[in-house]
């Protein structure tokens, strides 16, 4: 069947999929030019596009031709709610900046009754015409979401009437948007806004003005120390809190207002993973009021702390690429001091962190709980530092490095010179040189041997596959890799379930079925889990 044979309903679904994901030469989804291109291919495509109002409800305007096409697109959307994004920039070789601002604003005002989401971005001075849209008291009866991201001030203070539920502000001035900070808001995002966020401003514009928030995102370095000046939060309905770009001590001050007791999901993005007093204080606040049942160590160094019984999740990750790495011994010791090793029921980690995490756990072993171990399989490595082989073992690595004086490369060709041997036959024989270990041996010793792990009450081990794994010559066979993990694990349990249905066995050069793997490789206490058997 060709595209020409597709029913119009199915072709319409294809149009919607393409429209939402199109990114040609760095373009953006929902750009107007893409929609008009689809509607000009042939008569059948045009008919489908014009009879599909949903195709014209998500509109992105960033060039002057877009602005000229907007009225037509709005008409084609019929009575559907509208999602409109406008970008004002200074133009470039391929993009012509919006010039017809009055016509653009007129078109939006004519359809204001259907505007549900409005996003404005700008990297240049905004037109005065924008005042007619957002600064003159216009009523938008179904407008629920506004997002603003810019590098310059608005031409006016925002003055609209709308049942707003979500407000996202990036690099904005609080004073220009304060009229929208109301009890109706359920989601508020503040990203590096001005002036500095201190205890008084946080309580005024967030805690008191928006008491019904469900989601609060504070990603800002423009913040002052809060300390004791911050009183308890009245945000009793909050379900998600995200803190980033501020000092860890400020995060602790904010959390101490009582968020830990009421918010199911808290995310903290720190600048480094050092286990200093501030990080210990952050862990203390994140763990306050919860009993840790699940612990997830991601290979990206993200740490998830989960209380499955209460439905609570605490996340520590980083907002910068220079955050360093966790000191796993210090981190696990801190968690163990809070009895985590005795309450944990699920431990999830990546194999590339195995040889760092497991020794830390050995110092404070897991306790009496039955434990599930989840291991993400990544290539053939148990050590993060040696995961990227092309960086560690380049072709010319250490060829002329003076630091390798302890080793002497052995080259049989150097011993074939008869004349030189004859001249030195009467000399005392030199000690035999120590051959330098092969790169394969170094890699085997450093990467491919997992540190032994003992979990007295291990109930099940689940092996999952990284989505980018391929069974090629750079990796040992997955079956062999899994065998190394199982050989490294000891337990007092009589039987231990093994789940390999998602372990990537089918990605091997010679795919292995789950049943074949179990029959050939699971012996003794290891048994295939019920999930794999079904």
Average pLDDT over every residue of 106-111: 95
At 15 the pLDDT is: 74
Q: Which residues of 227-248 are buried (b: 16+ CB within 10 A; e: fewer)?
A: eeebeebbbeebebbbbbbbeb
Distance, CA of 163 to chain centre:
31
Per-residue pLDDT tens digits for 206-241: 999 999 999 999 999 888 767 656 777 779 999 999
At 398 the pLDDT is: 44
Q: Is residue 376 part of a domain?
A: yes
* Gap between the Cα atoms of 162 and 141, Å rounded: 6
Q: Is residue 306 part of a domain?
A: no
At 405 the pLDDT is: 45
Residue-averaged pLDDT of the chain:
83
pLDDT of 60 strictly over 60: yes
**Percentage with pLDDT > 90 across the chain:** 48
**pTM given for the model:** 0.82
User: Per-residue confidence at 25, pLDDT binned at 50, 70, 90?
Assistant: very low
Long-range contacts of 17-26 (CB under 8 A, 24+ apart): 19/55, 19/58, 20/58, 25/94
Three-state DSSP class for residue 400: coil
Q: Is residue 121 part of a domain?
A: no
Q: The domain containing residue 528 runs over which residues?
A: 345-384+437-534
Per-residue pLDDT tens digits for 290-305: 999 999 998 788 999 9
At 210 the pLDDT is: 95
DSSP state, 194? B
At 391 the pLDDT is: 39
At 408 the pLDDT is: 44
Answer whether 117's CB lies under 8 Å from 145's CB.
yes
* Gap between the Cα atoms of 280 and 336, Å rounded: 12
Q: Which residue has the higher pLDDT, 344 or 100?
A: 344
pLDDT of 423 strictly over 60: no
520: part of which helix (H) or strand (E)? helix 514-521
Looking at the 3D structure of the chain, how many domains does it have?
1
At 263 the pLDDT is: 95
Q: Is residue 450 part of a domain?
A: yes
Average pLDDT over every residue of 477-503: 91
Q: Is residue 93 part of a domain?
A: no
Half-sphere exposure of 156 (CA within 13 A, CB side): 15
Going by their DSSP bridges, the two strands 303-307 and 312-318 should be labelled as antiparallel
Query: How far is the CA of 91 from the CAs of 62, 98, 149, 214, in angstroms?
Result: 9, 8, 17, 38
At 487 the pLDDT is: 92
pLDDT of 396 strictly over 70: no
Q: Which residue has the higher pLDDT, 60 or 185?
A: 185
Q: Is residue 491 part of a domain?
A: yes
* Gap between the Cα atoms of 252 and 354, Å rounded: 30
At 28 the pLDDT is: 64
User: Per-residue confidence at 400, pLDDT binned at 50, 70, 90?
Assistant: very low
* Gap between the Cα atoms of 98 and 82, Å rounded: 20
At 433 the pLDDT is: 58
Per-residue pLDDT tens digits for 444-480: 555 678 899 999 999 999 999 886 556 555 667 888 8
pLDDT of 64 strictly over 60: yes
Residue 221, burial from CB neighbour count under 10 angstroms (0-12, 13-18, 19+): middle
Q: Is residue 232 part of a domain?
A: no
Q: Is residue 375 part of a domain?
A: yes
Per-residue pLDDT tens digits for 252-292: 989 988 888 889 999 999 999 999 999 999 999 999 989 99
pLDDT of 3 strictly over 50: yes
**What sign results for the dihedral spanned by CA atoms 122, 125, 129, 130?**
positive
Average pLDDT over every residue of 311-335: 90
């Amino acid at each position: 069947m060709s595209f020409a044979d597709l029913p119009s309903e199915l072709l319409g679904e294809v149009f919607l999929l393409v429209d939402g994901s199109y990114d040609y030469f760095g373009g953006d989804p929902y750009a107007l030019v893409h929609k008009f291109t689809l509607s000009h291919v042939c008569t059948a495509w045009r008919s489908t596009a014009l009879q599909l109002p949903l195709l014209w409800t998500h509109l992105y305007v960033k060039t002057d031709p877009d602005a000229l096409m907007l009225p037509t697109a709005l008409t084609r959307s019929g009575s559907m709610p509208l999602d409109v994004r406008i970008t004002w920039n200074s133009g470039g070789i391929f993009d012509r900046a919006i010039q017809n601002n009055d016509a653009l604003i007129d078109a939006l005002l004519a359809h204001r009754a259907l505007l549900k989401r409005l996003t404005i971005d700008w990297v240049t001075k905004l037109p005065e015409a924008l005042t007619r849209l957002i600064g003159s008291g216009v009523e938008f009866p179904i407008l629920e979401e506004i997002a603003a991201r810019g590098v310059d001030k608005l031409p006016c203070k925002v003055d609209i009437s709308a049942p707003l539920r979500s407000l996202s502000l990036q690099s904005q001035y609080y004073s220009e948007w304060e009229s929208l900070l109301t009890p109706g808001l359920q989601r508020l995002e503040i990203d590096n806004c001005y002036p500095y966020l201190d205890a008084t401003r946080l309580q005024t514009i967030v805690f008191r003005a928006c008491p019904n928030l469900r989601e609060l995102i504070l990603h800002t370095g423009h913040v002052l120390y809060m300390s004791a000046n911050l009183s308890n939060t009245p945000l009793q309905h909050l379900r998600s809190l995200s803190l980033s770009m501020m000092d860890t001590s400020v995060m602790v001050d904010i959390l101490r207002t009582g968020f830990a007791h009421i918010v199911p999901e808290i995310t903290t993005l720190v600048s480094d993973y050092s286990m200093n007093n501030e990080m210990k204080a952050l862990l203390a606040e994140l763990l306050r009021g919860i009993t840790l049942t699940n612990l997830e160590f991601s290979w990206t160094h993200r740490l998830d702390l989960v209380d499955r019984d209460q439905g609570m999740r605490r996340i520590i990750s980083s907002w910068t690429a220079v955050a360093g790495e966790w000191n796993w011994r210090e981190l696990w010791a801190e968690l163990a001091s809070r009895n985590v090793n005795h309450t944990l029921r699920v431990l999830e980690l990546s194999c590339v962190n195995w040889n760092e995490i497991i020794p830390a756990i050995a110092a404070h072993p897991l306790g009496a709980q039955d434990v599930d171990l989840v291991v993400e399989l990544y290539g053939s490595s148990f050590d993060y530092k040696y995961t990227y082989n092309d960086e560690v073992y380049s072709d010319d690595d250490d060829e002329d490095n003076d630091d390798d004086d302890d080793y002497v490369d052995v080259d049989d060709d150097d011993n074939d010179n008869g004349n030189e041997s004859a001249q030195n036959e009467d000399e005392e024989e030199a000690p035999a040189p120590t051959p330098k270990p092969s790169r394969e041996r170094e890699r085997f010793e450093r990467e491919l041997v997992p540190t032994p792990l003992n979990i007295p009450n291990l109930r099940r081990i689940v092996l999952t596959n990284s989505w980018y794994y391929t069974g090629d010559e750079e990796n040992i066979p997955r079956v062999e890799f899994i065998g190394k993990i199982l050989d490294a694990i000891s337990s007092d349990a009589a039987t231990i379930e093994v789940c390999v249905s998602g372990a990537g066995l089918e990605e091997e050069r010679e795919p292995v079925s789950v049943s074949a793997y179990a029959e050939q490789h699971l012996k003794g206490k290891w048994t295939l889990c019920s999930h794999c058997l079904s």
